[in-house]
Amino acid sequence: MSASLGNETDDASPSLKTLFAYWLVPSVLVVLWHYGEFPARVMHALTGLPWRPMKVALLAPVALAPFLVLIYFRKYFATRTRIGLLVCCGLALSVATNEANYLRAAMQHSLDNEIAYVTKLNLVEGVIRPLISRIVQGYVWVLGDDNSGRSTYVTHLSINYMFDSASFIAAFALATVLVRPASLLIHILFVLFVAFFAEAAFVPGRMGSAFLAGGFFWQLFLIASKRYGVALLSGLLISFARTDVVFAAAFAIPGILWFERRWSDSWAWLTFAGLLIISLVIPKILIALSPVQPDFSSFLLTHGDYFTKPLGNLSASRIAAGMAAPLFVLLILTWTPGVSRTTALMLPPALVYLAMVFVIADFSETNKLGPTLGALALICSERLATYFQPKTEPNVES
C-alpha cells in the first residue's frame, strides 16, 4: 500500500464509471447497514428469545462488519484513487451521521418540509428546484419514516449520505484533475476542507446541504476534464435542483480558455452558451408549467427591492470572512505571483456565484457559501502541493 501511495503513475483522474460505482454501491450498502437489526427481528420471531439482548448482541457486529470486510479486501483498494474515493465515502457517512444526530427531533421536520415544497407550498424555490424534493419524496416512499412506522433516522441519514458522498466524490475527482502531480494527502486535504464546510451547512428543514458545493464541483470536474457533452447533460439535470450552480460553473470555461489560449475552441464556447441557456430557460419553463402562480415573496429583486440583501450581507460579512479564515491564512502565507490553471478555472465561477449570493441570498445561510469556499480550498490545496514539493538541489560540478 505504501508503494502505491507514492506511485505517481497512479495519479490519473478516475473514470466516470468508477465515480458512479463508488457513489451508487455504497449508497445502497449504507441503507442495508442501517437495517442490520432485521436479522435480529427474524430470529426473535422464530425463536421467541428476548428482543433487547438479541438486538444488542447482533447490532454491535453489524456496526463493525463493513470495516472487517474492508480489512479482508484491503489489497484491492490499495491504489491512490480507490483510497481517496473510500475516504470520501467514509467522510460522507460521518457527516450524514453527525447531521442526523445534531438535528434529532428536527429530522422529521426536514423530510416533511422538503416534500412540502413540491406538494403543498407554492414557493418559487420549490417550483424551480423540484429535484431534491422529489428525491426525498422517493426515499420516504421506499424507506418510510416515523409517520409510517419506519425509521426517520435511517431515511434522513440515507438521503444525506447519497448527497454528501456525491459531493465529496466530485470534489476528489476535481482535485485529481487540477492538482497534479500531488500526493494523495493533498487531494484528501481538499475533501476534508469540503467536509468541514459541509458540517457548517446544516439547515433544519432542508435536505442535501452539501449538494450546492457538490453540484458545483461536479460541473467543474466535467469542464476541467473536457467532457463537454456530459457537462451539458449534467447541467440539464442539476438545473432542476440548483440552476444557479450551473450558471456560475459555466464561467469556468472562459477562464480555462484564457489560461490555455484556446480562444478558437468552438465546442467549448458552445458548451458555455449551452450551460447559460439551460440555467436560464429551465426555471422559466418550470414556472410556466406550474399549475398555480408561484410565490415570489422571498425574491426581493422581483419587488424592486435591490438593496436589502446586499446591505444585510455587508453587515454580515464577518460570517463569510470567519468561515473563510483558514483559507485566507493559507492564501496569504503561500502566495506566489502568477495565475495557475486551477485559479483560472476555479476563481471566475466562484466569484460569479458569490456575487449572486450577495445580491439575492444571505451570507447567514452558510450552505450558500460552499461553492466559493470550496474553490478557495482547492486553490489553497494546489499552493500547498507546490509549497511542499521537494526542492531539487542544482548539480554543481566540482
Q: What is the mean pLDDT of residues 109-116?
A: 91
Of the candidate ranges 5-19, 24-38, 94-108, the one whose mean pLDDT is the lowest: 5-19
Residues 42-78: tens digit of each pLDDT: 666 667 667 667 666 677 777 788 888 888 888 888 8
pTM confidence score: 0.90
* Cβ–Cβ under 8 Å, residues 11 and 180: yes
Q: Return the exposure string of 328-359: e unless at least 16 CB atoms fall within 10 Å of the residue's CB, then b.
A: eebeeebeeeeebbbbbbbbbbbebbbebbbe
Strands (E), 159-299: none
Q: What is the mean pLDDT of residues 103-129?
A: 87
State how far the alpha carbon of 173 is from the alpha carbons of 81, 178, 267, 342, in Å: 9, 9, 23, 13
Higher pLDDT residue, 36 or 212? Answer: 212
For residue 235, what pLDDT band results from cuts at 50, 70 and 90?
very high
Q: Which pLDDT band, with edges at 50, 70 and 90, does 13 fall under?
A: confident
Average of per-residue pLDDT values in the chain: 87
Q: What is the mean pLDDT of residues 154-160?
A: 94
**Tens digit of pLDDT for each residue in 240-254?**
999 999 999 999 999
Distance of CA 2 to the CA centre of its chain: 29
d(CA 164, CA 173) in angstroms, rounded, equals 14
Does the pLDDT value for residue 140 go beyond 50? yes
Q: Name the band, by pLDDT with cuts 50, 70 and 90, for residue 105.
A: confident
